[in-house]
Each structure stands twice: as C-alpha cells, then as structure tokens.
Chain A
Amino acid sequence: MQETSLILNKYEEDFDSISSNNPKWSSDLRNKAMDTFREIGFPVRRKGNEKWKYTNARPIASVEYSSAKFEKIDSDDIKLIAPWHESWINLLFVNGHYQETFSDNLSTNIQISNMASDDLAVNLTSNVGGIMDYSDDGFAALNTAFMSDGPIITVPEGENSGIVINLIFYNQGLSDTVNYPRVLITTGGNSTVNVIENYVGGSGDQTFTNSVSEIYVGEDATVNHYRLMNETDDTYDVGYGRVRIDTNGTFNSRSFFRGCGIGRYDLNVSIEGENASCDLQGLYFTNGAQHMDNFINIDHVRPNCQSNLFYKGILAGRSRAVFGGTVLVRKEAQKTDSIQSDKNLILSPHAEVDSKPALFIYADDVKCAHGATAGNIDADTVFYMRSRGIDLEAASRLIIYGFAGEIIDTVEIPELRSYLAESFLNSLPSHRFEF
C-alpha cells in the first residue's frame, strides 16, 4: 500500500495549490470531501468490493495525475469532434475549465452560472453536493474535493422553450493530468430542459477524467439528458450521474459510449415523488483492450412510478463490458412498474461482457421484469438476409447498425440523432458473421 500513499501525496500537494484559487462558497464541501478521500482512497480492494467487482480501479489509482490546467483552444477544432448546433447553447470546457459559449445571441430564461465564480447566490450553490454521496466512494470524493469549474444550470418554473444546452468537456490530453468536470442541473416545476454532456478528447498520453453531474427533476418537470463519451484508449474515465425526481417528474437519459481505456459511468436515479418516471437507455461499443462499466441504480422510493432501463452493447476485439443494473423497490413503492434489460452483440471470441441485472423488491404490488442477453447472431437471421441476395458483409452491417440504431432512433433532438447515426455507426467495425 506504500505505492498508493505516495500517489495520494500527489493529490494532497495539488489540493493545497488549487484551494486558494477556488471560490469560498465551496471550500467547506471541498475540504470535507478531501478528508473522506484521505480516509478511504480509491476503491482498489479486490475482495468484498461488490461495486467494483468487475472493474479494476488499480490502473487508475496507480498513476500520479496532477490537475489539468486551462489552455485556450480553437473552438472550430471542437466542432469537428463533438456534436453542436447553432440553435443550441454550446458551452466549451477545456481540461475542466470554462472557455466560451459558441452560440449566436440565444435568449433564454434558463440561468447558467459558473461554479468558479465567488459571488454566487446561495440558492444557486446550495444544491451542489446535495445528491452526490461520496462518503464511501473515493472517486466521487475526489471530484468533489477538486471541483472548481462547471455549469450550474437553473431552469425556472414553467420554462418550456425546448432549448438544448450542449456541454462539451474537452480533455486536451496533457500527459498525466486529471480533469474534474462538475455539473448541476436544477429544474423548477412544470419545466423542460434538454442537456447534452460530451466527454471528448484525449491524446496518446495518460489522462483521467473524473466527473460528477447532479440533476434535480422538479415537480411535473422533464429532463432529457444525453451523455456522450468518446475519448482515447489512454484516457480513463470515471463519471457519476446523480438524479432525484420529484412528483410527476420525468427523467430521460440516453448514453452513448465509444471508448476510452477504462470507463465507468455510475448512474443513480432516485424516484422520490409519486407518479414519476425514468427512462434510461444506453449504447456502448468497446473495441481493442477497452473496458466499459455501466453501474446503474434505480431507487423506487414512492408509489405509482415507472422505470425503464434498457442498454445495448457491441463488443469487439479483446474488450470487456460490464452492465450492473439494480432496481430497488422499497416497501412504500407500491404499483411500481419497472423493466430492465441489457443486450449484447459480441463480435469477437475474445470479447466478454459481465451483465448483472438485479431486482430487489420490498413492496408486494409491483410489476417488474429484468433480463440480459449476450451473443452472436443466429444462423437463421443471416440466412434470411442472404436468401434475399444480401451478402455476408452487408447482412452483418445491417444487423449491427440495426442493433445500435434501436437506441439512436430514440434520440429526440434531430441534429443529435443524425450526428450519432453518422459518427457512432461509422465507428463500428466492418464485421462478417461466419456460418
């Protein structure tokens, strides 16, 4: 463990040097989180560590990362690697620090503030750290200790303009650096907001992205949340989504993962009001030696709520994917309607998925189902297509595109949908099912 403590010293030095620059309103929170991090460190234990059972955090914990500094970049370059549109509010963060908003004179009632400011009203900052419980989670504690910059998005009551807020977190790929994106979204009653979070960039050098997003879905409010991850194989990415849904609220999440060395998205949705719902869908594609872990928890606290959890994976090369989906239905959460499934298309005999959908039901009047599949395409499917003149390559492409398309087609922002249809599908390998 000597090695680990050396590494922790590095974060300690870093913490001292950045603390003086960070805003006062967050200093208590950051100090407490740092104390926790000092105490628990990274979740590297291989025994009795259920949450990290299938993902080894050791490679991430054993690099001496220092906080990435801001460097201004040309936003035109970003437009080539992330989705954006002139009708959206596009906010660019470089190495975790805000650079600019590239949108033309968009007027909106939505208030977007920067966590880096010192003079933020208490009602804006009071929700920061409100849902992200870092007490037993070293990565979440680390992000909280080091958060410095990030959007605070406050959607007023009744705001329904349908505007899209596009957050681009660009990791420049500076060697041995870590960046700490942090997002807070708070929605007032009967409002709707669309937010896209992009985690892009990286280089051939070792980097680490450690993000936390907290999302409050107000009464009768709808949050449509999109998360796109597209980093390099030398980047490790551990991200958190923490969501709390109030009465009649709706949270829709679509996640698209296309690679990084080791990736993990820990999404926890707590349904705390009646008649609320969440629909969480995702698509992951892993190749080479990549590893992607989706760790998702849905907590049904109140009665008469629905949840849908549907993820799909395409695995190639020697890659590994993990799907841990847990739905908890508490005693009070009667009439819960919950369904979850994870489907995987495995293109290589060396790729592997650990899919663990789980249900814990303490209420007695509920409708819940779960399931998982992993496999190749069956011979009948391919023969059906070939019997129509379609050769193996084209048949395989139609099947793989169709498999991915099922999730992409549910994206409700047309520009984002076509972006994904292009970029995600084009990144898929040409493959030939053999029979």
Chain B
Amino acid sequence: MSNFEKLIEIKNLHVSVAETEILKGINLSIGEGEVHAIMGPNGSGKSTLANVIAGRPGYSVTSGDIVYKGDSILKVAPEIRARAGIFLAFQYPVELPGVRTWQFLKAAIDAIRKGNGQEELKIRDFDKLLEEKRQLMEMDPDLVRRSVNEGFSGGEKKRNEILQLALLDPSLALLDETDSGLDIDALRIVSHGVNIFKSPEKSILIVTHYQRILDYITPDYVHVLVDGKIVRSGDSSLAMELEEKGYDWVKDGAGEEVHP
C-alpha cells in the first residue's frame, strides 16, 4: 500500500503566463487507478494544467500547490518528475532531427531506471521491450530507426507518444489532447495502448476538447474547465451531456451568458 492518500493533489492552483492568469484556483485529486478527464473549450486552461504538472518552464505558479506521492513538486525539475513517474503525452510532439527514436527511448528508459536506483537496461532486453510495444502501437518498424517524430504523420506522432507511455510505464499519465487530429483508426490504436496501460496502480488524466476519445477510454470522473476554473465535475455521463448540449451549457453554470 502507498503511504499517501491520493497519487496527486492539486490545491487551489493559480498559474500565470506572462502576467496573464490562466488557472484561477484549481482543486483536483487523483487516486491510484483512477481515470479523470478534463474537458473544456479552447483557451480554458486545460493544456496548461497538464503542462504545469509535468513541469514545463514558462509558467509561474502564483499560489497553491501540487502534491505528488505526498510531496510538493512545484520546485522539482521536469526530469525528476518524469523519473518519479509523471508522464506527459504532448499535444504537439517535438521533432528531434538526428536523434533516432530507439536511441531517444533507450536514453529515457535508462535515465528513469538510474533515477530509481536500477541498472541500465541491456540492449537485448530493450530491443525486446521496444519491439513488443511497437507492435502494440502498430507502428512501422522503420519509424523507430528514424529521427524522433521527423517526417512522422500527425497520427504517427501521437502513436509514438503512447509508445513512450507504454515503454516508460509511469504512475501518472497526462494525455494532452492526444485525440486531436487523429483519424478513427489511429484513435482506436492510441486508445488501445492507453487501455492496456490502465490498471489499479496507474492513474490517467485525459485532457480533451471532445468527448470522442472517452468512448474508448472510460473515465471515472469528468471535470469541466472553463476560464481557468473547474465549473462542474461528475461521472462519465457528464461527457455525454456536454457532447449534446455544448460548452455554453456549463458556461451558464459558471455564471456565463447563455447564447440561445
């Protein structure tokens, strides 16, 4: 059993980017084994939330706290957060010219293992693991030999993110609009990868604009983020309701004007 109540607790989190407040007091707790979805219109701050948890530079936390596995991580470097089991699947995965995918993945796995007092993975074991996960994500074998994300299609990039999720096996997966720009086949493959990862020890935070991905990955909780605040929380039926009624419906609940 873990010696913390919740895997991650976000307490009254206020975040600004260049003087503009984006998150205006977020409270959210995710327990082990739980799947949460954050939904919201464009510009509501949902991607900011995922990125701040992962430690992306450029955001300033003006008040509040993020407690992960019992400790505040606000001052912790992103690579240390990653080694402690936080993983962010990027909305826009970055291209790394000249850095081979397999080489990048090996460096990442070894960094995380070494951070946890384990030895580097033997090449042969790594190859086996990579091949297994590659097949899971139905990725072209040629892609792992190529430079990271360079010349990958949008769908291949997102699959590569979930391949990394599967390989690095974190405690908390933050999926930042992983579904955006995916066709139905890629969405199915990506969701399959996430569902394989899902277990009683793993927690997932899905950030999405659309309800579509939630047809494949069923959330335990759905939160609606509008203008930097969670305006409504509920179970998966909330996502359905949003799909039907649109975001204006919850904006009303947040005290916003309703457009007829």
Within 8 A of B (CB), among A405-435: 405-406, 435
| Closest chain B residue to A343, Cβ basis | B97
Q: Report yes or no: A398 in contact with B96, Cβ–Cβ below 8 A.
A: yes
Complex interface: chain B residues within 8 A of A379 (CB): 57-58
0/1 per residue, A169-209, Cβ < 8 Å to B? Answer: 00000000000000000000000000000000000000000
> Does chain B have a CB within 8 A of A12?
no
> Does chain B have a CB within 8 A of A46?
no
> Does chain A have a CB within 8 A of B83?
yes
> Does chain B have a CB within 8 A of A390?
yes
Q: Report yes or no: A389 in contact with B99, Cβ–Cβ below 8 A.
A: no
| Closest chain A residue to B82, Cβ basis | A389
| Closest chain A residue to B78, Cβ basis | A386
Number of interface residues of A (CB under 8 A): 23
> Does chain A have a CB within 8 A of B88?
yes
0/1 per residue, A378-412, Cβ < 8 Å to B? Answer: 01110111111111101000110111111000000
Q: Report yes or no: A406 in contact with B98, Cβ–Cβ below 8 A.
A: yes
Judged by DSSP, the binding face of A is helix
Complex interface: chain A residues within 8 A of B49 (CB): none
Complex interface: chain B residues within 8 A of A386 (CB): 55, 77-79, 82
Q: Report yes or no: B79 in contact with A405, Cβ–Cβ below 8 A.
A: no
0/1 per residue, B88-112, Cβ < 8 Å to A? Answer: 1010011011111001100110011
> Does chain A have a CB within 8 A of B171?
no
Instruction: Tell me the smallest distance from the CB of A313 to a CB of chain B, in Å.
Output: 14
Complex interface: chain A residues within 8 A of B168 (CB): 388-389
Partner-B contacts on A (CB < 8 A): 379-381, 383-392, 394, 398-399, 401-406, 435
Partner-A contacts on B (CB < 8 A): 54-58, 77-79, 81-83, 87-88, 90, 93-94, 96-100, 103-104, 107-108, 111-112, 115, 147, 164, 168
The 3 closest A-B pairs by CB, nearest first: A402-B98, A388-B108, A402-B99
Given A390-B107, A406-B97, 19 additional A-B pairs, CB 8 A: A379-B57, A384-B94, A386-B55, A386-B78, A387-B78, A387-B81, A388-B107, A388-B108, A388-B168, A389-B79, A390-B108, A394-B107, A398-B103, A398-B107, A399-B99, A401-B98, A401-B99, A402-B147, A405-B98
